[in-house]
Chains A and B, each alone.
Chain A
Amino acid sequence: DQQVKQNSPSLSVQEGRISILNCDYTNSMFDYFLWYKKYPAEGPTFLISISSIKDKNEDGRFTVFLNKSAKHLSLHIVPSQPGDSAVYFCAASGTASKLTFGTGTRLQVTL
């Protein structure tokens, strides 16, 4: 039972344009959401998070939007840069301390 879903396994975007990565969740008890970036053969690095009391959080080029009624969150990267090419995971947590991860979206930023 996949409680956190990233339905797009890959995404290609031109340098300078906006990248939009999507994530859906099914568990209404989730109230804290995170995005991680991962390069091959390395551990994920934390990018940005959002609590369910907010609908938007921004950090530099990265903005996360949360739509609780739709159980949907998205990560916007503007402008996209070649160094952003990686796999992006969304994750969610509820009352327990553990995170539930999606399957990831591979972003390729082309020149």
Chain B
Amino acid sequence: DGGITQSPKYLFRKEGQNVTLSCEQNLNHDAMYWYRQDPGQGLRLIYYSQIVNDFQKGDIAEGYSVSREKKESFPLTVTSAQKNPTAFYLCASSIAQRGVQYFGAGTRLSVL
């Protein structure tokens, strides 16, 4: 089955801790994206990558970091610099630039 897998489904972060959210896709898509959703708001773009070993900041990149060492993987690290990390995080991929984006099931991050 082709798709996008995000793990874990739920994650808890202690103050001052960095945590990493996993995103893997087996769709052979070139582009991958990370979004954050807060209650009552739309999806806001954190980072995106159009090709391996390259990525760009989105609208709210502060306090986050990413890597794209493999085509199928695009992990997101929520650093201790992100002061309000509690949110629902969504990973997406698309076959090409400006194509339809397909989403994973999301990771809900909470602060202990």
Contact = CB atoms under 8 A, between A and B. Distances in A.
Contact of A49 (B4, B48, B100, B108): B100
Contacts, number: 56
B103 interface: yes
A38 to B, nearest CB: 9
Interface residues of B, number: 28
Query: Which residue among B6, B31, B43, B102 has the maximum number of chain A CB atoms within 10 Å of its CB?
Result: B43
Please tell me the size bucket of the interface on A. 20 to 34
Nearest to A2: B42
For the residues of A in contact with B, the DSSP-based class is loop
B97 interface: yes
Contacts of A103: 40-42
A95 B98 CA distance: 8
Interface of B: 4, 6, 31, 33, 35, 40-45, 48, 50, 58, 88, 90, 92, 94, 97-98, 100-106, 108
